[in-house]
Amino acid sequence: MHKTSFHRTLFGAALALWVVLAVLAVWPSPARAQAARPAPATPAAACPALLQFTQPRLQDEKPQALCQYAGKVVVVVNTASKCGYTPQYKSLETLNQRYGPRGLVVLGFPSGDFGGQELGNNAAIADFCENTFNVRFPMFAKSSVMPGGRDTPNPLFRALAERTGKVPKWNFHKYIVGRDGQQVFSHGSDTDPLDPAFLKDVERLLGAS
């Protein structure tokens, strides 16, 4: 073969090989195409009936959908600022911080139903909670928590009473609601949120799928 023809043949082969390699570099392989495909969005937790309410926030009375806490273990407690049980705010905040990373949230609902022991307005309550006990868990506007009382009851507490057969008899009654809203434990005012019996129910619901 003539030397020039040989060089042309060699150059042509090299060019063809380069084209093939270039095409393979950009052609999406099945594995690469799968990796490039966006991961499917994780569906939001379904909101259980017990959380399908909107409540005004304590600080500014801005409506808050309780469905934002769907999928969490929710501790619901009726609070008061001038009660013998008021120091439980400290335990509630500890509980919220300790178990928050595992999916628990404490929700506080001030009420003057028992002994008139809550302050008169939401601004005063918010100031007391934040400056006296450094409360950081969500708090909601003052309301009535007694189903069948003279004032229109908070619908969340009415639903919790219907589910458990237990109504608050004093300030700092606590309900623990499971992630799916089906299982609910009730604890009276004299049970501190860090009491072993209370924590046992918290752990049980946190561990439930």
Contact 144, 158 (CB under 8 A): no
Give the residue numbers annotated as catalytic, written as ranges. Answer: 83
Contact 99, 199 (CB under 8 A): no
Instruction: State the distance between the two ends of the chain, measured CA to CA, in whole angstroms.
Output: 77
Radius of gyration (C-alpha) of the chain in whole angstroms: 30
* Both structure tokens of 151: 């004032």
Residue 55 pairs in a beta bridge with 64
Q: How many other β-carbons are positioned within 10 Å of the β-carbon of residue 63?
A: 9
Q: At residue 166, what are phi and psi to the nearest 5 degrees?
A: -120, 130
